[in-house]
Copies of this chain bind each other. A is one copy, B any other.
Amino acid sequence: MSRHYTLTISCPDRAGIIAAVTGFIAQHGGFIVEASYHTEQEEQRFFMRQEIRADSLPFDADEFGRRFAPLADEFSMNWQLADSAQNKRLVILVSRQDHCLDDLLHRWRTDELRVDIPCVISNHEDLRSFVEWHGIPFIYVDMAAGKAAAFEKIAALFDEYQGDTMVLARFMQILPPSLCQRYAGRIINIHHSFLPSFVGAKPYHQAYQRGVKLIGATCHYVTDELDAGPIIEQDTVRIDHGDTVDDLVRYGRDIEKTVLSRGLRYHVEDRVLVCGNKTIVFK
């Protein structure tokens, strides 16, 4: 796909927004490749996302921003302009289970997931060799020596490696509220249940005990309330009485991978806009 800019906007709803924005783009010859709109009724708030072919515009992203600013002010817009030539930088946190990591690294090395992965951070050494085979730095952080210090180190690494997004790929550790707030909207977790069912630890055991007939997984932004942040993507899979907890864990791995990679893709392509505790996902 050729280089494009992705313009995402949210603002109070009123007549004429689309016309104003697309008019501005057209006035400069901009060619819109993909366009999506949504009004959040309860909030009377409007959301839009547009992909514009970079080579159709007579200026670069910075200049686009300068010229667009007055219009954005007029409509009280929150807005962002992303350049497809600029990969987002994902810092991945893992523990011992590697199914999500394996899945993400495969998508990365086959160019399906267009991101940079400056480093992988873990509280265990198990996955070092696999990560390093990819030519990606693997950094061990000792949680045993004190969680507060460990999380400070993680934050420092994230900053040092200039991460845009922190991905908890089955990290199995609860982040401190300060970290959640500092990187609000930039930390993505995969929870191994169909939220809001089975919050917290051992969701597959909880599901087994309750006797549900489907299990699921949830990809969401991390907030300081556990497993309660805005949901980006979910899915479920059928189980039956013959399945043990181990079977649930096994089915669950497949769903976790799929849901995380889909949610992450939406995030990376600037398809996710947050409204309160909900997401608009322009697929």
Stretch of A4-12, A18-26, A166-174 at the chain-chain interface? A18-26
Kindly supply a per-residue 1/0 record for chain A positions 226-252, scoring 1 wherever the CB is within 8 Å of any chain B CB and 0 otherwise.
000011111110001110100000100
Stretch of A29-37, A82-90, A139-147, A155-163 at the chain-chain interface? A29-37
Instruction: Give the distance to chain B from A269, nearest Cβ to Cβ, in Å.
Output: 12
Stretch of A71-79, A179-187, A194-202 at the chain-chain interface? A194-202
Oligomeric state, in copies: 4
A279 beta carbon closer than 8 Å to chain B: yes
Instruction: Give the distance to chain B from A206, nearest Cβ to Cβ, in Å.
Output: 9
The docked-state distance in angstroms from the alpha carbon of A147 to that of B231 is 40
Contacts of A25 in B (CB 8 A): 19
Kindly supply a per-residue 1/0 record for chain A positions 181-222, scoring 1 wherever the CB is within 8 Å of any chain B CB and 0 otherwise.
000000000000011111000000000001111101000000
A38 beta carbon closer than 8 Å to chain B: yes
- Whether B211 lies near A277 (C-beta < 8 A) is yes
Instruction: Give the distance to chain B from A107, nearest Cβ to Cβ, in Å.
Output: 9
Kindly supply a per-residue 1/0 record for chain A positions 127-164, scoring 1 wherever the CB is within 8 Å of any chain B CB and 0 otherwise.
00110010000000000000000000000000000000
Contacts of A29 in B (CB 8 A): 15
- Whether A278 lies near B26 (C-beta < 8 A) is no
A123 beta carbon closer than 8 Å to chain B: no
Contacts of A133 in B (CB 8 A): 129-130, 133
- Whether A194 lies near B196 (C-beta < 8 A) is no
Residues of A at the B interface (CB closer than 8 Å) are 15-16, 18-20, 22-23, 25-27, 29-35, 37-41, 56, 98-99, 102, 106, 110, 112, 129-130, 133, 194-198, 210-214, 216, 230-236, 240-242, 244, 250, 253-254, 258, 277-281, 283
Q: What are 24 residue pairs bridging A and B, where the CB atoms are less than 8 Å apart in the complex?
A: A15-B26, A15-B30, A16-B26, A18-B18, A18-B32, A19-B19, A22-B22, A22-B23, A35-B35, A35-B37, A38-B241, A98-B110, A99-B110, A102-B102, A133-B133, A194-B197, A196-B198, A196-B212, A212-B234, A213-B232, A213-B233, A213-B234, A241-B279, A241-B280
